[in-house]
Amino acid sequence: MDLEKIFHMKGGLGETSYSNNSSLQVSLSLSLSLNICKRAADKVKHITLESIEEMFVEIRPRSLGIADLGCSSGPNTLSNIKQLVHAVEMVCNMQLHQPPEFRVYLNDLPTNDFNTIFQALPDLYRELNKGIRRRNHDGHGIYIAAYPGTFYGRLFPDNCLHFVYSSNSLHWLSRVPPGIYDEEDGVPVNKKSIYISERSPPRVSEAYSRQFQEDFSLFLKSRSQEVVRGGRMVLILLGRRTTGPDHIDHLRGNSFFWEILYQSLATLVAQEDKLDSYDVHFYAPSREELEDEVRKEGSFKVELVDMFETDKDAGNFPSYGVAVAKTVRSIQESMLAHHFGEAILDKLFDHYGRLVDQELEKQDVNSITTLLVLARL
Ligand SMILES: C[S@@+](CC[C@H](N)C(=O)[O-])C[C@H]1O[C@@H](n2cnc3c(N)ncnc32)[C@H](O)[C@@H]1O
């Protein structure tokens, strides 16, 4: 399956769009995440803005390159950019310096709904121009462009970036690991699971872990050529607290949500082979796995790693289960519809939301988000 052609967040501004259902994603956009995970969002915001400010004070580029990798098309996208630009401008205002010109590169897969972002740009420019001294007389000093393509490979020219931000994107692998299919007949070995579960044979978790290592090292290698010395990367992704060699999330972490999706699918899909051949291209790495890859690749230094639990607040939805169901649907819909057809989606996610609520009444879930700050050596 060609993920670059199929996988995309639900575009537009409709009821099931990512734009309207991305509030569970912990990101820099504090305003959006306020009801859902304020503590986590506060921390992410503080560390992210501090990282760009520190980098700016150290390097002081006249032309500052910022990339948002896996930007999607929700309200998070431009609000993140606005906050990064403001943070640098505040430093300049305090030190009575002219702000730099900003080059902003928005990246996502080519199937992303970039049009919705472009339509919001005039408002963003207007807002950014309010009351700020700009260095160039004729323009706004902020140049925003889209760079469609996979971040597992080169995206930008050499040494053009000072700050890379990526939230809720790097836990997506470049593909479902080929090692989870039998080498001879291609039959899936991860039966009755769509991700690593307690039922999975050891080769499944090994294959997922290998795929993560391959992808993340390629990500680092590609960025190492694009980010200038002293540049920073703030990477926010789902993670795992357990560190055992089986790579299983024994603490009812993020894999719980895939287990519930499997159970929901099993109530609706009668053909076993259809169900067994569906697996997600997702991996929640442990802190050690992330640090190991950074060390092995060698171009970046780990400045900070933090892990925190996402709060379980339903926000404006009737229950937390419904909120999770809406978010997971907006993210997984394209893949599920491709494999099982669109007809099952409404029932699937009704069931999914109910199951999440029922399970949470029995036992808690610890959804972990990892924040990693790297500096280019
Ligand atoms: C859950 S969204 C997160 C969006 C936004 N950053 C946020 O925090 O709300 C994940 C995004 O990562 C993108 N993505 C996944 N794999 C990617 C890849 N290999 N290259 C570029 N973007 C990718 C998806 O298309 C999707 O838009």
DSSP state at residue 113 = -
Q: What is the CATH number of the domain that holds 306?
A: 3.40.50.150
Distance CA 276, CA 24 (A): 28
> What residue owns the CA closest to ligand 1's atom 24?
70
Q: Which residue has the higher pLDDT, 226 or 8?
A: 226
Ligand 1: centre distance to CA 291 (Å): 22
Q: Which residue has the higher pLDDT, 141 or 76?
A: 141
Report the nearest atom of ligand 1 relative to the CA of 151.
20
Cβ of 152 less than 6 Å from ligand 1:
yes
Cβ of 27 less than 6 Å from ligand 1:
yes
Specify the pLDDT at position 30.
Answer: 37
The first and second tokens of residue 353, run together, are 């939301």
Distance CA 77, CA 70 (A): 9
Specify the pLDDT at position 24.
Answer: 57
Alpha helices (H) along the chain? 3-6, 18-21, 30-59, 75-94, 114-129, 202-226, 255-268, 272-276, 287-297, 320-340, 345-362
- Sort strands 368-376 and 300-309 into parallel, antiparallel or unpaired: antiparallel
Cβ of 190 less than 6 Å from ligand 1:
no
Report the nearest atom of ligand 1 relative to the CA of 174.
19
Cβ of 235 less than 6 Å from ligand 1:
no
Ligand 1: centre distance to CA 274 (Å): 26
Backbone angles phi, psi at 145, to 5 degrees: -135, 155
Pick from 30, 81, 108 the residue to mutate for probing ligand 1's pocket: most ligand atoms within 8 Å of its CB.
108
Residue 331 pLDDT > 90, yes or no? no
Ligand 1: centre distance to CA 361 (Å): 31
Return the ∠ at Cα 130 (arms to 34 and 57), rounded to 5°.
Answer: 75
The whole-model pTM stands at 0.90
Confidence of residue 327 (pLDDT cuts 50, 70, 90): confident
Backbone angles phi, psi at 66, to 5 degrees: -120, 135
Cβ of 70 less than 6 Å from ligand 1:
yes
Report the nearest atom of ligand 1 relative to the CA of 26.
8
pLDDT, the chain, mean: 87
Report the nearest atom of ligand 1 relative to the CA of 27.
8
pLDDT tens for residues 147-188? 999 999 999 999 999 999 999 999 999 999 999 998 888 888
Cβ of 169 less than 6 Å from ligand 1:
yes
CA distances from 359 to 65, 159, 217, 237 (A): 45, 48, 36, 24
Cβ of 330 less than 6 Å from ligand 1:
no
For the chain, the domain total comes to 1
pLDDT tens for residues 102-145? 999 999 999 899 999 999 999 888 888 775 555 444 456 899 99
The first and second tokens of residue 53, run together, are 């400010």
Cβ of 334 less than 6 Å from ligand 1:
no
Return the ∠ at Cα 25 (arms to 20 and 28), rounded to 5°.
Answer: 105
Domain hosting 359: range is: 3-376
- Sort strands 227-239 and 368-376 into parallel, antiparallel or unpaired: antiparallel
pLDDT tens for residues 23-57? 555 455 533 333 336 777 888 899 999 999 999 99
Specify the pLDDT at position 136.
Answer: 47
- Contact status, residue 10 vs residue 17, Cβ threshold 8 Å: yes
Neighbours of 111 (CB within 10 A): 16
**Helix, coil or strand: residue 246:** coil
pLDDT tens for residues 260-282? 999 999 999 989 889 999 999 99
Specify the pLDDT at position 32.
Answer: 36
Cβ of 216 less than 6 Å from ligand 1:
no
